[in-house]
Structure 1
Amino acid sequence: MAAATRADLGGGYGAGDAMSALALAGWGAAAGGALQSMALQLPEFGLLALAIAITMLAGGINLAIVATANLSAIAATLTWAALGQGPLSVVCGLVVGLATGLSCGLICGLAITALRVTPILATLCAMLAFTGAGVLLTGGAALGGLPPSFSAGVNSTFVGMPWILVVFLGVATGLQWMLARTVFGQRVRAIGLNAEASRYSGIDTGAVMLRVYALSGLLSAIAGLVMAGRFNSARAGYGESYLLVAILAAVMGGIHPDGGRGHFSFLVLAVVILQVAASSLNILSVNTHVTTVVWGALLLAKLGVDRVR
């Protein structure tokens, strides 16, 4: 009886260990899957945060980043649909998508510099126009038929890391170098600190701002192409919640709302923290509207603290 009892107990402990091992393996796989998902989502959000941050550094803002991203992805997808899915058509679609984003940025820049419209109103009007254009081109539906090689490339990894994450980090590093080491970067900061003084000092503020918004549009286009590859489709309504969170990431990362001050390294850290927080709230099944309230409250609190300081 004692032997049988010991055998039963031994078998029980073995089963318990096996169950524990399976549970740990399951948690590990879930954690690994969550990290992989975050690593895939972070670049598109981070690129949009960079797109709005560069305009904030110059004392402006670009509310059309998401609309520009979606319109660029739609333009690329329509090009692929017209030309097929060969290697040359993939390149043509990418060129068309990037050119669309660049053009959208230039439109915003011209409205601000040539028409003297305030950045918030100019980019708000542009956001509505670009969104409307996207809906007209697609009928409000999602466009599929992306080249398999493009979608596979967006979702591929490099040394175990999604290569689009490597691209995002490279872009952020390049922008920080540009702002710190080039004449253009110094002029962007100078205009953000005092546009009138910069103008009197001989800086062509209109040309600099035009380049800033063109760069913002180009970054938005890259984000839109990344979203299209991840979703394997393009639509005018993708990433609508990214605008508020991109502004929050820029402000939380130290980009001063009045312009001239900020560092992209801290912005990257803010993007990572916000992405982890968003994924955690999603895992906890928190209502998306509650999450939006949290983001808005955080942004308001950060702006309030900055003003008090």
Structure 2
Amino acid sequence: MPTRSQGSSLGVLNSRVDNIVRTWIANLHVDRGIGRMVLLLVIAFGVFAALNPRVFLNPLNLQNIMVSAPEVGLLAIAMTLAMLTGGIDLSLVSIANLTAITISTMYAGLAASDPALAESLGGMIVVVGVAVGVGAGLINAVLISTVGIAPILATLATMQIFNGLAIVWTGGRTLYGAPEILGGVGQSTVAGIPVLFLIFVVVAIAIGVLIGRTPFGRKTQLQGSNPAAARYSGIRSASVLYGTYVTTGLLGGLAGVLFVTRNPTASADYGTSYVLLVIVIAVLGGTNPMGGFATVTGVVLATLVLQVVQSGFNAIRLSSYEYSIAQGVILIGVMVFDQVRFRRRGRYVPSTQTRNIASLSGVGNDTKKRFDEVKST
């Protein structure tokens, strides 16, 4: 008959094995989601290549796909990060526009009197523009974390405010001008791959590491998956939300830089259709809208899928309205597939992920004990 200490050791071992199995199952889910996006990308590419190979497979068209994807992709990654906490950020496009307007205004003002000075200060102008994006994200963080306004309402309000500021700032006109260094980056390629796309990949890798390999990322996942468990595990919700929305503001600012890099103009209404588009991409890429789970790789692939579909529609001369229909059809099809698969398995992924994240990050080891203590009182 095993002693008490042996029983305790067996219990610890069983717990560790259970955590390993759950983590393995969760990773299988991520891999399948990524595999699904790869399959969709291959199918979309193959279909349009077969329908109009002369236009779609033209090297210039393929480069245009890689040039157009980064600005939408960065916004989708930012939206994914907000959704990971169980929130949302509707102000992302407005933040990007404010950054672009700041860069264009500062450059044009300096260039009017001293073009050489404007070019020499190009890097500083870009930094100021990105700082505007970070500041806008900080405003969202204060409203959501400190004041306690629901993310959808807070960011809806700031979206309206930022849009209004942009219109007043520009007088409703399109601004022209940007540092030449940005134009150079926008036109540069490395081994035929646009530098803009490489920047997008580097940022995506950085955010993927932030989410999956750092304590902040694990706390963010637990916060979105189960706020109560996060609170009893000692996670400060305020710090997580501040970090999240400041980061989304930073990504929005970087997207604004890409706006200007691709086309040296800025306006208050640029990318108005991007808000819904980046939500579609985030969800299509495997982000749980209720929080707790996301894969940046899936979001990158989803960005490419929709960009390929858009380019393919242009190649076969279909309208933007038909492209909008295709977006909805793809999203609904993937979500229906997921719901059918999950119901057949009879398991609820977010709850499993909550336990995995808590055990792997080390912040949830005493969660059950704290719940029992609260319950007993």
| TM range, smaller chain | 0.7 to 0.9
2:110 is equivalent to residue 83 of structure 1: yes
Tell me which of 154, 170, 195 is aligned to 2:202: 170
Which shifted more, 37-46 or 77-86? Answer: 77-86
Number of aligned positions between the proteins: 284
* Aligned partner letter, 1:111: L
State the secondary structure of the residue aligned to 2:267: coil
The CA deviation at 1:296 is 3.2
Q: How does 1:1-309 map to 2 (within 5 A)?
A: 27=54, 31-84=58-111, 85=115, 86-307=118-339, 309=342
The CA deviation at 1:196 is 2.3
Using the size of structure 2 for normalisation, the TM-score is: 0.72
* Aligned partner letter, 1:77: S
State the secondary structure of the residue aligned to 1:114: helix
C-alpha root-mean-square deviation of aligned residues, in Å? 1.9
CA contact (8 A) 1:83 1:89 kept: no
The CA deviation at 1:154 is 2.0
Q: Report the Cα distance in structure 2 between the residues aligned to 1:297 and 1:63, rounded to whole angstroms.
A: 22
The CA deviation at 1:302 is 4.1
Are the structure 2 counterparts of residues 28 and 128 from structure 1 closer, same or farther at C-alpha, using a change threshold of 3 Å?
Answer: closer
CA-to-aligned-CA distance 1:159-202 (integer Å, 9 cap, x gap): 22111111110111111111121110111101010112212221
* Aligned partner letter, 2:169: L
* Aligned partner letter, 2:158: A
Are the structure 2 counterparts of residues 30 and 294 from structure 1 closer, same or farther at C-alpha, using a change threshold of 3 Å?
Answer: closer
User: What fraction of aligned residue pairs are identical, expressed as a percent?
Assistant: 36
Q: Report the Cα distance in structure 2 between the residues aligned to 1:145 and 1:262, rounded to whole angstroms.
A: 37
CA contact (8 A) 1:49 1:250 kept: yes
Gaps of 5+ in 2: 1-52, 343-377
State the secondary structure of the residue aligned to 1:164: helix
CA contact (8 A) 1:244 1:295 kept: no
Q: Report the Cα distance in structure 1 between the residues aligned to 2:211 and 2:290, rounded to whole angstroms.
A: 17
Are the structure 2 counterparts of residues 304 and 111 from structure 1 closer, same or farther at C-alpha, using a change threshold of 3 Å?
Answer: farther
CA-to-aligned-CA distance 1:102-123 (integer Å, 9 cap, x gap): 0111111111111211111111
CA contact (8 A) 1:79 1:96 kept: no
Q: Report the Cα distance in structure 2 between the residues aligned to 1:221 and 1:236, rounded to whole angstroms.
A: 14
The CA deviation at 1:305 is 4.8
The CA deviation at 1:300 is 4.3
State the secondary structure of the residue aligned to 2:310: helix
CA contact (8 A) 2:145 2:242 kept: yes
Are the structure 2 counterparts of residues 60 and 307 from structure 1 closer, same or farther at C-alpha, using a change threshold of 3 Å?
Answer: farther
Gaps of 5+ in 1: 1-25
